[in-house]
């Protein structure tokens, strides 16, 4: 009983500190001591710690490589070029700009992960809206929602996907095929709701602040990203961890940037976000302690069995609820081992819940918390009532549409 209470208390402290960020300390400053505490008190044994480290090691390495790749692409001007082309394509029409943001944010989230959308694209969206003289709210909210919803497509699109990918037993390509319809369905629902919800902002007249010549498109960065994505599929097909493909893409960009003196080794190491990587590992250990000390049994009793449509709906709903209660990373760590015996379809349903569900509350995902911080730095107040109302309108509908699409994909393609 003591170990169960201690594990839960440690998880609560880690999550609260990740949300509040007291003293502006990184998440790892609280997660690492919490992990050390549950290990020292015997709430989790050395064997379980080793298993968790072995499971998360490749995921953490992959995440580091993708973060470096995204930052170097930003240094090359890829995101700035995208913002300028968005503004030109929109022709001072906010509704067209919203469509451009949806398309670009969905693509960047899928290819470079949700972190790239939140950290690198969100400031570009604010700058583009300001240059057009458009109200930024619909477009800024789109980058927040799509950093979660649009991360369904590829194993590399979200840390949650990476954590679950091995458990599915699928290849990179088959994962993408099964998730294409759910990805499109969820984005379509979001887009339809956004057009109605923000109709007044989208129909408001614009007051352009000036024009800007389109910058030269960074072809080297585009080609490297495309080659890296192809490398993910090839590596998965021949049994090599996709982390090696990500590391190769990041290395190619890093060597070029260093040779041209566009960056420094210190900047590259900093872009890998080492404190956040330590946080992920420590969080995994704490969650494992909670699962082993009672949460696993409770969730196992509540989680539906099989991959029938009602079961998939129940799994996705439970995953969405848990993501909003304890954050999506602990939710996927707790649910994936329980869903895996029912097959890949059940694990993919978990991902639908933990990726779409966090749009309901601030605390649902770390990406949303980070987005809110970026929005505040751009003098944009995020109202809790409005954020929650938008989530209530999008999350249930997007979950339903994506689960139906997943069920259809499983029936048509199989696993």
Instruction: Report pLDDT digits (tens) over 179-222.
Output: 999 999 999 999 999 999 999 999 988 777 655 566 677 889 98
What's the pLDDT score for residue 25? 84
Say whether pLDDT at 153 is over 80. yes
What's the pLDDT score for residue 127? 85
Quote the tokens at residue 203: 């129909």
Say whether pLDDT at 330 is over 90. no
pLDDT in tens, 292-322: 888 888 888 899 999 999 999 999 999 999 9
Integer-rounded Cα radius of gyration of the chain: 21
> How sure is the predictor about 376, in pLDDT bands with cuts at 50, 70 and 90?
confident
Quote the tokens at residue 97: 């700009």
Residues 6+ apart with CB under 8 A from 172: 154, 155, 232, 233, 235, 236, 237, 242
**Element holding 191 (H helix, E strand):** helix 172-197
- Over pLDDT 90: what percentage of the chain? 47
Say whether pLDDT at 85 is over 90. no
Phi, psi angles (nearest 5°) of residue 270: -65, -35
Q: Nearest-CA neighbor of 283 among 4, 19, 33, 3?
A: 33
| Most confident among 74-88, 112-126, 229-243, 313-327 (mean pLDDT) | 313-327
The mean pLDDT value of the chain amounts to: 89
Averaged pLDDT for residues 318-340: 90
Say whether pLDDT at 1 is over 80. no
What's the pLDDT score for residue 213? 60
Averaged pLDDT for residues 117-125: 86
H helices within 76-168, ranges in order?
Answer: 78-90, 94-112, 114-116, 122-132, 137-149, 159-168
pLDDT in tens, 26-68: 888 999 999 999 999 999 999 999 998 888 888 888 888 888 9
Say whether pLDDT at 381 is over 90. no
> How sure is the predictor about 90, in pLDDT bands with cuts at 50, 70 and 90?
confident
Say whether pLDDT at 135 is over 60. yes
What's the pLDDT score for residue 210? 57
Averaged pLDDT for residues 118-125: 86
Averaged pLDDT for residues 226-251: 87
pLDDT: is 116 or 161 the higher one? 161
- Over pLDDT 70: what percentage of the chain? 98
């Amino acid at each position: 009983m003591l170990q169960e209470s201690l594990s839960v208390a440690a998880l609560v402290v880690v999550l609260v500190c990740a949300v509040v960020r007291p003293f502006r300390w990184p998440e790892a400053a609280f997660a690492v001591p919490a992990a050390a505490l549950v290990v020292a008190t015997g709430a989790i044994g050395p064997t379980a710690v080793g298993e968790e480290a072995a499971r998360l090691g490749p995921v953490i390495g992959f995440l580091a490589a993708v973060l470096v790749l995204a930052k170097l692409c930003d240094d090359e001007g890829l995101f700035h070029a995208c913002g300028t082309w968005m503004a030109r394509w929109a022709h001072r029409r906010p509704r067209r700009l919203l469509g451009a943001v949806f398309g670009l944010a969905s693509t960047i989230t899928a290819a470079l992960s949700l972190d790239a959308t939140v950290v690198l694209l969100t400031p570009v969206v604010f700058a583009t809206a300001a240059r057009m003289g458009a109200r930024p709210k619909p477009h800024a909210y789109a980058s927040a929602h799509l950093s979660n919803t649009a991360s369904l497509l590829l194993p590399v699109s979200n840390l949650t996907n990476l954590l679950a990918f091995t458990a599915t037993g699928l290849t990179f390509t088959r994962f993408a095929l099964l998730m294409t319809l759910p990805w499109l369905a969820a984005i379509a629902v979001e887009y339809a709701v956004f057009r109605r919800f923000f109709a007044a902002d989208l129909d408001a007249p614009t007051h352009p602040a000036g024009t800007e010549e389109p910058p030269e498109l960074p072809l080297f960065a585009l080609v490297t990203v495309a080659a890296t994505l192809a490398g993910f599929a090839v590596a998965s097909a021949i049994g090599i961890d996709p982390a090696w493909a990500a590391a190769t893409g990041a290395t190619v960009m890093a060597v070029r940037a260093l040779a041209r003196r566009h960056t420094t080794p210190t900047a590259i190491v900093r872009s890998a976000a080492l404190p956040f990587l330590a946080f992920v590992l420590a969080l995994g250990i704490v969650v494992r302690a909670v699962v082993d000390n009672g949460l696993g049994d409770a969730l196992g009793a509540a989680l539906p069995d099989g991959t029938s449509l009602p079961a998939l709906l129940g799994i996705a709903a439970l995953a969405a609820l848990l993501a909003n209660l304890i954050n999506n990373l602990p939710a996927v760590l707790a649910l994936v081992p329980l869903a895996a015996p029912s097959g890949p379809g059940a694990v993919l349903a978990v991902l639908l819940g933990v990726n779409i569900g966090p749009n309901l509350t601030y605390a649902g995902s770390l990406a949303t918390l980070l987005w809110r911080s970026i929005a505040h730095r751009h003098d944009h107040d995020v109202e809790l009532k409005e954020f929650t109302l938008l989530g209530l309108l999008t999350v249930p509908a997007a979950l339903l549409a994506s689960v139906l699409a997943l069920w259809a994909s499983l029936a048509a393609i199989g696993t």
